[in-house]
Amino acid sequence: MTNDFSNAGASPRRTRPLAAPVGCGIAAILVVAGVITLALVQPAEDFGWFGYAPLGESGLDQLVGSTFVTGPQITGYLIIGAGLLALAFTLGLVLGRRARR
């Protein structure tokens, strides 16, 4: 007859949590995907009046010839931001675990 509690007195083996490597991997993938998205996007066209010089030195002159951000560029920036947030969360998790020991 075998006893299921034969290792009851032994200390449990500590396993290494997978949150840090998995979190850093996901964060790195997100940052790289965002950079690739931004690299592959065509730059936005210049928009503004070009037939004559601006009328004055007011603050509205800065809008003349401005460049607008396109949808894919916004997506790329959001992906990079999500990757950096995931990296910050993972590093905070790792540093928090070290402080408890």
* Structure token digits, residue 28: 């790195």
pLDDT tens digits, residue range 75-87? 999 999 999 999 9
Which residue range forms the structural domain that includes residue 87?
A: 26-41+69-94
Question: 73 lies in a domain?
Answer: yes
Question: 54 lies in a domain?
Answer: no
Query: Which pTM value belongs to this model?
Result: 0.62
Which residues, in sequence order, are CB contacts of 86 under 8 Å at separation 6+?
Answer: 23, 26, 27, 30
Question: 33 lies in a domain?
Answer: yes
Which residues, in sequence order, are CB contacts of 67 under 8 Å at separation 6+?
Answer: 43, 44, 45, 46, 47
Question: 79 lies in a domain?
Answer: yes
Structural domains of the chain, count: 1
User: What pLDDT score was predicted for residue 96?
Assistant: 83
